[in-house]
Amino acid sequence: MFLSHLLRPRTVASAHCDLPCGVYDPAQARIEAESIKAVSEKYQASNDPEFRTRALLIKEQRAELVKHHLWVLWTDYFKAPHFEKYPQLHGLFNEATKLAGAGGAKGAADPAVAEQLLGKIEEISKIFWETKQS
């Protein structure tokens, strides 16, 4: 009992991640989504099978990065008060990550899907910047 008392922390701190840098920005997801759209357009315009294969690989990598950047915002930046004030936020993140995933931009080379993804990221970005102002 005495040892547990000595080892108990005197000050308890909490952070949103293991190393709280505080640097968050939806622009990271947007840039990758813009890359998906551009690569999809180039894929559609090409008949070269090797180029198209490389384009698909790059597009899929970028889609994973979009999901990663969105998940970091969703799970690390946004907190309960944000979700209370913006009840649509969970839905936006769900829709955006699905648009980046296998059923969306990762699984298709359709610039229109990438444009939809960019639209969802823009909606998230507007909310993000509103929360940064307060």
Sketch the domain layout of the chain as residue ranges: 26-132
How does pLDDT run across 29-88, given as a tens digit for each residue? 999 999 999 999 999 999 999 999 999 999 999 999 999 999 999 999 999 999 999 999
* pTM score of the predicted model: 0.83
Under the phi-then-psi rule, with left for phi > 0, alpha for psi from -120 to 50, and beta for the rest, what region is 22? left
Average pLDDT in the chain: 90
Q: Which pLDDT belongs to residue 22?
A: 74
Write out the CATH class of domain 26-132.
Answer: mainly alpha
Give every CB contact of residue 123 below 8 A, 6+ residues apart in sequence.
92
